[in-house]
């Protein structure tokens, strides 16, 4: 089954998370600063190996990829992503010093979604990131999250696990939705409590949240590990 992850609406204002696979620290620092000023979170990997590791660990919304990396060719990252069931739908923007038509055609054939040649305009990069996400999100007219055989319909408050609809209480669904829409972000307990219940964090409320999380995990079955506990802090959906 082809894996898709689709977000069309974002009622919880999820931030865009970008992984920048690049080994030039000057370019990294400038790009990260400019993107963060626009509300775009930037994680960095400086090699093919660590780039792939971070894609697996954090599942970014967009990958920015340099081709010339210390341990290999960035094209291998594109090829690996697009052949993967789990990561093939993550948009990839290649950023490189190469500018020949042959290079561009090859990258697009491999599955890269866009291409920028160094030196590039940060404003143009931001515009392309947002345009790519709009394009990916508009592929479906409804508000869904789909991961393999886990399907969440936010409009209808339905959760399907392996073709079976699982019943969630309203609060359980709201917690799950908040976690999913903020995927990859560590959410503090007090933030979840305030977003879902409008309550502050105290011992009683915190225990109630833990009980709800435990119930959600049970109902997600084999996908329960998508909800990670961050000890002493809160939870992260990845």
**DSSP class per residue in 131-146:** HHHHHHHTTSSS-EEE
Residue with tokens 């869904």: 144
- pLDDT at res. 85: 74
| Among 154, 150, 171, CA closest to 226 | 150
Q: What does the angle CA 22 – CA 26 – CA 27 come to, to the nearest 5 degrees?
A: 50
Picking from 134, 111, 147, the residue whose alpha carbon sits closest to that of residue 5 is 147
- Token representation of residue 1: 């089954």
The total number of residues shown for the chain amounts to: 238
This prediction has a pTM of: 0.56
Would you state the structure tokens that stand for residue 195, as one six-digit string?
């977003």
- Give the mean model confidence (pLDDT) for residues 57-72: 90
Domains of the chain: 16-137 (3.40.50.2300), 166-237 (1.10.10.10)
Confidence of residue 103 (pLDDT cuts 50, 70, 90): low
pLDDT tens digits for range 116-159: 888 888 889 999 998 888 777 665 445 778 887 888 988 888 99
Per-residue pLDDT band at 104 (split at 50, 70, 90)? low
Average pLDDT of span 185-189? 91
Instruction: Please name every residue paired with 234 in a beta bridge, in sequence order, or none if there are none.
Output: 188, 230
- Residue 198 is predicted with a pLDDT of 79
Q: 195-234: per-residue pLDDT in tens?
A: 888 766 566 777 889 999 999 999 999 999 999 999 989 9
pLDDT higher for 163 or 69? 69
Separation CA 201–CA 190 (nearest Å): 5
pLDDT at 201: 59
- What φ, ψ does residue 147 adopt, rounded to 5°? -135, 100
Mean pLDDT, residues 83-102: 78
13-54 per-position pLDDT tens digit: 446 889 999 999 999 999 999 998 888 889 999 999 999 999
At residue 226, the pLDDT reads: 95
């Amino acid at each position: 089954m082809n894996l898709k992850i689709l977000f069309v609406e974002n009622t919880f204002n999820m931030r865009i998370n970008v992984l920048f696979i690049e080994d030039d620290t000057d370019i990294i620092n400038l790009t990260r600063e400019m993107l963060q000023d626009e509300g775009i979170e930037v994680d960095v990997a400086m090699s093919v190996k660590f780039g792939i590791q971070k894609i697996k660990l954090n599942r970014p919304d967009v990958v920015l990829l340099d081709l010339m990396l210390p341990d290999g060719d960035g094209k291998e990252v594109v090829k690996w992503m697009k052949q993967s069931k789990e990561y093939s739908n993550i948009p990839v923007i290649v950023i490189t010093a190469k500018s020949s038509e042959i290079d561009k055609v090859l990258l697009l054939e491999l599955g890269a979604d866009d291409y920028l040649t160094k030196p590039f305009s940060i404003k143009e990069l931001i515009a392309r990131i947002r345009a790519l996400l709009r394009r990916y999100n508009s592929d479906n007219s409804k508000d869904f999250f789909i991961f393999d055989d886990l399907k969440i319909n936010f409009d209808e408050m339905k959760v399907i696990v392996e073709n079976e609809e699982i019943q969630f209480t309203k609060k359980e669904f709201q917690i799950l939705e908040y976690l999913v829409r903020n995927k990859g972000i560590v959410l503090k307990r007090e933030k979840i409590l305030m977003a879902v219940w409008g309550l502050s964090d105290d011992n009683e409320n915190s225990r109630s949240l833990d009980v709800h999380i435990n119930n959600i995990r049970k109902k997600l079955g084999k996908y329960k590990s998508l909800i990670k506990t961050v000890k002493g802090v809160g939870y992260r959906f990845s």
